[in-house]
Amino acid sequence: MPKVDRETAVRVERQAYPGRLRARTNGCWRTRLSEAVDLTQIGVGEVELAPGSATGLMHWHENEDEFVYVVAGEVTLVEEGGGEQVLRAGDGAGFKAGVARGHTFENRTGRPVRLLEIGPRTAPSDTAHYVGLDMVLKREGRRRGFETRDGRPLAPDDEVAERDRA
Tell me the pLDDT tens digit for each residue of 81-119.
Answer: 889 999 999 999 999 999 999 999 999 999 999 999 999
Q: How confident is the model at residue 165 (pLDDT cuts 50, 70, 90)?
A: low
- Residue 154 in any domain: the answer is no
What is the mean pLDDT of the segment spanning 117-134?
92
Q: Single out the residue of 92, 91, 95, 113 nearest to residue 103, CA to CA.
A: 95
- Residue 6 in any domain: the answer is no
67 three-class SS: strand
Can you give the CATH number for the domain in which 62 is found?
2.60.120.10
Q: How confident is the model at residue 1 (pLDDT cuts 50, 70, 90)?
A: low
% residues pLDDT > 90 (the chain): 81
Q: Single out the residue of 74, 68, 119, 115 nearest to residue 97, CA to CA.
A: 119
Q: What is the pLDDT of residue 14?
A: 81
- Residue 69 in any domain: the answer is yes
Q: Strands (DSSP E) along 2-150, which ranges?
A: 11-13, 28-32, 42-49, 59-61, 66-72, 74-79, 83-88, 92-95, 103-106, 113-120, 125-130, 136-140, 143-147
- Residue 151: what residue type? G
Enclosing domain of residue 75: 11-123
Count of domains observed in the chain: 1
- Residue 97 in any domain: the answer is yes
